[in-house]
Chain A
């Protein structure tokens, strides 16, 4: 891998071929290439169309509940004794996470393209629930591919999707988790090319998805920017977000990329510990390669076989990461740290006890590095954490790890 020349404008990527430096691209079977080009053209047109943007803004305001608050987490701030900590409250969105921002954008695009059947993949079920929700709202059939292992460990979300009218397909191939769900969704798309829209849930996959999902999620960072300027009269010193595929992180990072005084921290899942080999940290523990349509950091062996990710969080349990994060890592604009299962559980409990907020176990990974970042930034500084999802879905998992039955 060659390190790209440091760019003047971090926000100007991807290039016309869908690349962020060496990362990204369109590595898909030929059958899908015409569809990928069609999607890109349709997205370009929608992005430039004020009517599309107005329709999206309307639904984000009245259906999703935007803008989400920027909340000063006073007790956590006192507890760490460092910088002031703010939460960007994405967990207050309809369906309980940032995932709905992207789904709302994509469902409006799918309707505009005349597609009549929606497919999606899901890990923890948050993107599946958000997809099922927008499909119900617009009366389109929704098929959600979910690894059989995840179906078992996220039963409430499976039932929630069923209540919303979606069909959940349990995927038993491979490791029966998120990466296999994505394989199966791609197999569906390549088979049903004429009527089907593939609603990818994270800022990964083939171009234009990393760019499009980032754009739909950038509402998080745009609001954060306006809110912190209003509250504090200046930009934050650091932003922290958890990273699986990385859509919540890139959504809050992107509007700040050219503000080099704002440090950006993505937190990957270290599972049982980086040294254990059982983790889901693509940047910290992987090498560049090609999977699911894009060149990016991947967990893989020396022969190029994808290895299984391990995390307490089903939403971070993926062997890759969005290509823009890979690039931001290589050029040094963002730093990627890790948090273990145990550290995340501790952070989950701390946040519940001090702030009265149950964070998603994914989000708890970001909270787990917060004390380090807050201390590094120091008193008088400002740190914003993306509270990307709520933890109601995780109480059974947390109870099991605490050795408690509910």
Chain B
């Protein structure tokens, strides 16, 4: 499956004229069992693609929500190995939803790229986003992922000019993740009007679907992005729901999944009911 699972999902959504809803959750946040329950519930709540963060102690591109999520997970002993176990448990009940792992280089370096790619594919992972491994450093990782038929998902950003985009999209597959704002996750808000021409540019450069993330916080914003992009990535507001539920002692799973449902509804109906600007 692997690469094929991502391609099949984006192709099916394109046929329905619907943007993919890509949900990010942190593995092990607030604990292993609850995060597994959340991940299992995501497809039913409307997620089309699942990004699973594996925690790192020093996540330099994350804003406070995902920093805190990583610390909650690490406090409960979450590791890259346990993250793969979580994916494998999820895969027993779902063979079609693509799983993209997202995180930082050092846990991957410690594991070894080749061993990681092999073990991740066996667990049912389809692709990887390594936030701090740019194309200049990615050749050994790309080789390892290719050998395991996993997609290397690349980030394109507002600082990527046309020359840079050519480098960014080399050896990438599945889709391209367009980072809609220069900044860390979950702080600035994305502007659909500014994003649209860049999505088009990345689509042309890559020949792949383009999902947009960083700074999408509300159903309205998600719908606006869904009209111009092939996918909408939401992460920080979901992990904030974990924190909010813990603070008031509510069910974390219920709160996260109900947030997913409201965003999913906005995204799935965005193109059917266009709103004039």
List residues of A whose CB falls within 8 A of some B CB: 17, 25-35, 173-174, 179-180, 183, 186-187, 190-193, 287-293, 295, 298, 300, 302-307
| Given A183-B60, A289-B106, A304-B107, A27 and B134 contact (CB-CB distance below 8 Å) | yes
Smallest CB separation, A59 vs chain B (Å): 31
Contact of A34 among B108, B137, B159 (CB under 8 A): B159
Evaluate contact between B105 and A31: CB separation under 8 angstroms. Answer: no
* Cα-based distance from A29 to B157 in the complex (angstroms): 10
Evaluate contact between A31 and B109: CB separation under 8 angstroms. Answer: no
Q: Is there a chain A Cβ closer than 8 Å to B133's Cβ? A: yes
Q: List 9 A-B contacts (CB under 8 A).
A: A25-B136, A27-B132, A31-B158, A186-B60, A187-B63, A190-B183, A289-B106, A289-B109, A303-B107
The 5 closest A-B CB pairs, nearest first, are A304-B110, A304-B107, A191-B183, A290-B105, A303-B79
* Cα-based distance from A284 to B111 in the complex (angstroms): 21
Contact of A30 among B74, B104, B155, B184 (CB under 8 A): B155
> Closest B-chain residue to A305, C-beta based?
B57
Most buried by B among A27, A183, A298: A27
Q: Is the interface of A mostly helix, strand, loop or mixed?
A: mixed
> Closest A-chain residue to B177, C-beta based?
A30
Evaluate contact between A29 and B132: CB separation under 8 angstroms. Answer: yes
Q: Is there a chain A Cβ closer than 8 Å to B131's Cβ? A: yes
Evaluate contact between A30 and B137: CB separation under 8 angstroms. Answer: no
| Given A193-B159, A293-B132, A27 and B61 contact (CB-CB distance below 8 Å) | no
> Closest A-chain residue to B68, C-beta based?
A173
Evaluate contact between B134 and A33: CB separation under 8 angstroms. Answer: yes
Most buried by A among B60, B81, B156, B164: B60
Q: Is the interface of B mostly helix, strand, loop or mixed?
A: loop
Q: Chain B residues near A31: list those with CB within 8 A.
A: 61, 155, 157-159, 179, 182-183
| Given A191-B182, A289-B106, A290-B106, A29 and B57 contact (CB-CB distance below 8 Å) | no
- CB contacts under 8 Å to A, within B161-185, are 161, 164, 168, 179, 182-184
Size of B's binding interface in residues, CB under 8 A: 47
| Given A173-B64, A304-B108, A190 and B74 contact (CB-CB distance below 8 Å) | no
* Cα-based distance from A348 to B133 in the complex (angstroms): 42
Contact of B106 among A26, A173, A179, A304 (CB under 8 A): A304
| Given A30-B179, A31-B182, A305 and B132 contact (CB-CB distance below 8 Å) | no
Evaluate contact between B154 and A173: CB separation under 8 angstroms. Answer: no
* Cα-based distance from A303 to B81 in the complex (angstroms): 8
Smallest CB separation, A173 vs chain B (Å): 6
Smallest CB separation, A222 vs chain B (Å): 31
Smallest CB separation, B80 vs chain A (Å): 6
Evaluate contact between A187 and B61: CB separation under 8 angstroms. Answer: yes
- CB contacts under 8 Å to A, within B65-87, are 67, 71, 74, 79-81
> Closest B-chain residue to A27, C-beta based?
B132
| Given A27-B137, A290-B109, A304-B109, A174 and B57 contact (CB-CB distance below 8 Å) | yes
Q: Chain A residues near B137: list those with CB within 8 A.
A: 25-27
Evaluate contact between A173 and B107: CB separation under 8 angstroms. Answer: no
- CB contacts under 8 Å to A, within B115-169, are 131-137, 154-161, 164, 168
Q: Chain B residues near A300: list those with CB within 8 A.
A: 106, 110
